[in-house]
Amino acid sequence: MKIKLYPEKCIACGLCQTISDVFDYDDDGIVLFADHHQETTIELANRNDALLAAKSCPTKAISAD
């Protein structure tokens, strides 16, 4: 599964990190990947929590394919 972040859409609500430890935040509360801070796209094995976080994002700042 490919997960892509759109930091410019993030409103720092905190929902994604609550759902999945794949996600973290920078100093301004904007989403980034916990283990890949500089990346905006990563490949993951099937992680239902990351998929749920993407589907739950109110601004669609995370997509999962």
Which domains are assigned to the chain?
2-64 (3.30.70.20)
CA distance 45 to 61: 20
Which region among 13-17, 38-42, 43-47 has the lowest average model confidence (pLDDT)?
43-47
Q: How many percent of the chain have pLDDT more than 70? A: 100
Question: Does pLDDT of 55 surpass 90?
Answer: yes
Residue type, 32: L
Tell me the pTM: 0.91
pLDDT for res 37: 92
SS (H, E, C) 8-65: HHCCCCCHHHHHCCCEEECCCCCEEECCCCCCCEEECCCCHHHHHHHHHCCCCCEEEC
Mean pLDDT of 36-52: 94
Confidence of residue 30 (pLDDT cuts 50, 70, 90): very high
Side-chain-side CA neighbours of residue 24 (13 Å): 9
β-bridge partners, 25: 31
